[in-house]
Structure 1
Amino acid sequence: MKNFSYDDFELREIQKLEGHTGKVLGIAWKEDTGVGGLPAVIASWSDDKTIRIWEENFSGFFVCKAVLEASCTVRSCAWSREFKLLAAACSDATTAIWENVGVHAYEHIYTLKGHENEVRSVSWNKDGQFLATCGGDKSIWIWEVLPGNEFDCTKVLQGHTEDVKIVHWDEKVLFSGSSDNTIKVWEETRFVNGDWRCIQTLGESDRGHTSPVLSLSFNKGRRRMVSCSEELTIKIWKNCEEDSSIELWSHACTLSGYHDTTIFTVDWMRDLLRDVSYEDMDPEIFASAGADDAIRVFIEDMDNEVDGLSFKQLLKKEKAHETNINSVKWHSLDKRRLASASDDGTVKIWDFVCPWPPTT
């Protein structure tokens, strides 16, 4: 990485957010907040049956502004930017929908029912018109937002042979990771509205995972994907059909030997470190964490990309939490900010310190 000293990078704790009385299972930054004068907003959820909404004040510290009461453990949440909605996947096989109806005010407006087992993950598409849910019943449901805050299930996707751990919408394509060790890529069939098909399955034969897929994330250009699994590896995938009408992915590299316990979460930084031209592009960065209580940050090793992509560990933050780290999330618009959530009942906000301006 030209003009940077690797020794100058650091992950510095800014604040510990306390309030949950159980394990914090995940976090989600609210998009389009934290820049342009708008205070940053983040949601955290827990097995204490609550979702907490935290907002940054003028001093740069986060304060809990709302506590949303659920009927059971909340497994996953996702913000809809367009419709001011927050979806929550729940362990009682339902998905709860809250609407932001005013300053720090949220109203429970709908409960989606249909799954036969707990809902594990939720994801909105880009324009907030569709919501994907998945769960322990091995299925993925596609819900359409209708006028008057109504919802309609337009399709149930079957294809995974075990429970579906995660769904993640990328533009118009939907990705799912499962305990059957695969990542599936789903696309709505062109010219046949409402019908879907699995266009690709990334499994062991594709140098994929050999145990349940627990997390996945995309870079800003949406041409690369990172995933992690219980077999203690991190895999990088690249879009190999940039000019094709069908989006296909191939294995780029595998990182192993960094984690010696389960890796629960990975998240790609949404931007490059510097604003540079395409010809002088900076390396990309992602973070990972899991049962070893540490947060790791990896950087693209552009000097060793002889046969393809290569990444190396940039830094390791030991004892970032007291126990398992369930989620790490980069702020979508602020490349210096990272959040983490843990079984210790806390959320932490981190400052990603890097040399700025670059050293020579």
Structure 2
Amino acid sequence: MWEYVGNEFSFIASFEGHENEVKSVAWNSAGTLLATCSRDKSVWIWEVLPGHEFECVSVLNGHTQDVKMVLWHPSLDILVSTSYDNTIKIWTEEGDGDDWHCAQTLGPPGSGHTSTVWAASFNATGDCMVTCSDDLTLNIWDSSADLSSANDDDSAKWKHLATISGYHDRTIYSVNWSSLNDLIASGAGDDCIRIFSKSQDGDQEGSQSYELVQKHEKAHTADVNCVQWHPKNPRLLASAGDDGIVKIWEVVGDLPHV
């Protein structure tokens, strides 16, 4: 149990603009930009200015339904958003200005999700991404190209690499890719936490498969809303549930390494 020692949060700034519930916020790796998203279907990008000021530099209106999550690439100013419209959008800055645009939409038709996309997570290097959905699947996406030079060239865009399916019984609300190894954790509406790893079996060139390596039934007594790997200890995983409880888990056994 945490002990209160008298420290307090100091309120320093607020800003408005969204017309409905704000569902997610995310800082870029440099801490110079803040992204927000809302049920109003929009994504806003705010620039951090001196004196705790924030200036909106772009309003992105590409989604047609609620936007559930925003996530920055671990090292580049590339923004990912996931939505109730079943898509993942990749946003990049145009030239040297403050104009942002949708560089790519990942979704149906094709190999995308067929229902609400709740969350996304990058691997340590940022060249792979996993997304989770109401369609009971996890999708793995890959970009082997140099994303820092991403443009309209298809070689610089994300491609579907694998689908993890047949393991979840209800909506997958959260997914997190460990930055220390190749483990992917998921939390779902079936109250279960699952851990996946890249399969060691040989695959055809250009494809990849993932296997379930651990599963914890009734990890919470209600929906598992969030899972998050520890940034320094590869064996520790935190989870949060509708049961009002936060739990810390330790993975036992051999761990794969990147």
Q: TM-score, normalised by structure 1?
A: 0.66
Aligned counterpart in structure 1 of residue 109 of structure 2, from 184, 205, 223: 205
- How many Å separate the matches in 2 of 1:255 and 1:347? 26
Residue 123 of structure 1 and its aligned partner are, at CA, apart by 0.5
Letter in 2 for 1:242: D
- How many Å separate the matches in 2 of 1:226 and 1:140? 20
Aligned to 1:288: 186
Determine whether 1:265 maps to 2:174: yes
- How many Å separate the matches in 1 of 2:148 and 2:9? 42
Structure having the higher Rg: 1
Match of 1:117, SS state, is coil
Cα distance, 1:241–1:205 mapped onto 2, change above 3 Å: farther
Match of 1:109, SS state, is coil
Aligned to 1:182: 87
Residue 304 of structure 1 and its aligned partner are, at CA, apart by 3.2
Cα distance, 1:324–1:112 mapped onto 2, change above 3 Å: same
- The Cα offsets for residues 53-93 of structure 1, whole Å up to 9 and x where unpaired, read as xxxxxxxxx51548xxxxxxxxxxxxxxxxxxxxxxxxxxx
Determine whether 1:354 maps to 2:258: no
- The Cα offsets for residues 190-215 of structure 1, whole Å up to 9 and x where unpaired, read as 22x21111110001124001111001
Kept in 2: contact 1:285–1:298 (CA 8 A): yes
State how 1:267-346 maps to structure 2 within 5 Å. 267-272=176-181, 284-307=182-205, 308-346=207-245
Higher relative contact order structure (alpha carbons within 8 Å, sequence separation ≥ 6): 1
Residue 305 of structure 1 and its aligned partner are, at CA, apart by 2.5
Letter in 2 for 1:315: Q
Residue 182 of structure 1 and its aligned partner are, at CA, apart by 0.6
- How many Å separate the matches in 2 of 1:291 and 1:165? 16
Letter in 2 for 1:129: T
Residue 244 of structure 1 and its aligned partner are, at CA, apart by 7.2
- The Cα offsets for residues 82-129 of structure 1, whole Å up to 9 and x where unpaired, read as xxxxxxxxxxxxxxxxxxxxx843211112211000001110001111
Q: How many aligned residue pairs are there?
A: 249
Match of 2:13, SS state, is strand
Q: TM-score, normalised by structure 2?
A: 0.91
Aligned counterpart in structure 1 of residue 162 of structure 2, from 225, 244, 253: 253
- How many Å separate the matches in 2 of 1:289 and 1:331? 15
- Decide which structure has greater strand share: 1
Cα distance, 1:129–1:65 mapped onto 2, change above 3 Å: farther
User: What value does the CA root-mean-square deviation take over the aligned residues?
Assistant: 1.9
Determine whether 1:218 maps to 2:127: no
State how 1:116-195 maps to structure 2 within 5 Å. 116-170=19-73, 171-191=76-96, 193-195=97-99
Kept in 1: contact 2:117–2:134 (CA 8 A): yes
Unaligned runs of 5+ in 1: 1-61, 67-102, 273-283
Identity %: 48
Aligned to 1:45: none
Kept in 2: contact 1:233–1:256 (CA 8 A): yes
Residue 262 of structure 1 and its aligned partner are, at CA, apart by 0.8
Match of 1:194, SS state, is coil
